[in-house]
Amino acid sequence: MKEYLKLKNLHSLFERNFFLLNSLVVDFDKIKKKVFEIPIKDQNKKVSINTTKLSNYTFDIELNININAVEEKTTFKVRVYLEAKMAEVISLQGFHNNLIDIIPTVQKFGFQRDERTQWNKFLNEFLEFCSKEGLAESDNLPARFQ
């Protein structure tokens, strides 16, 4: 029974991640790349979303976050299942404490037994942050006055 509840909670998390990611991407099939910015401390940092179609109902999404020039970028690789309306993290590279500074969280990252759940919980919090705080890329904004 305990394992069933864990699986049920994990599926619920995958579904929440799908809807949050869907609100950022809108149409997985048509948009191949999207770039926006998020405020981190006193600067805006770029987040890029790249979509790769694997089949009619399955996509791989790569979210790249450039926190600073010194450290490597953080990359979430997420598999999206359109029919099941689920998105799960299949890989997380370049995770570091700067990301925890962006999103205040109660999670104890790095200390859980189930790394898969940990990655997906963090993706959920990151997508919520992007939905609330995301900005259009400043390079693409038209001038207000001419």
Say if 145 falls within a structural domain: no
With beta carbons less than 8 A apart as the criterion, state whether 134 and 38 touch: yes
Residue 143 lies in a domain: no
pTM of the model: 0.77
Residue pLDDT tens, the chain, 146 long: 677 677 888 899 999 999 999 888 877 777 788 888 888 777 788 888 899 999 999 999 999 887 666 666 888 899 999 999 999 999 888 765 555 555 555 555 554 557 788 889 989 998 998 888 877 655 554 444 44
Does any domain span residue 19?
yes
Domain count, the chain: 1
Q: 142 in a domain, yes or no?
A: no
d(CA 75, CA 73) in angstroms, rounded, equals 6
What pLDDT sits at residue 102?
Answer: 57
Reference 98, options 121, 70, 120; nearest CA is 70
pLDDT recorded at residue 81: 94
Which pLDDT does position 146 carry in this prediction? 41
Give the tokens for residue 33.
């790349």
By residue range, what is the domain housing residue 69? 2-137
Domain-embedded: residue 18? yes
Residue 47 tokens read as 């987040």
Nearest to 73 by CA among 48, 36, 43: 48
pLDDT of residue 14: 95
Q: Does residue 144 lie in a domain region?
A: no
In a domain, 7, yes or no: yes
Asked if residue 61 is part of any domain, the answer here is yes
What pLDDT is attached to residue 16?
Answer: 95
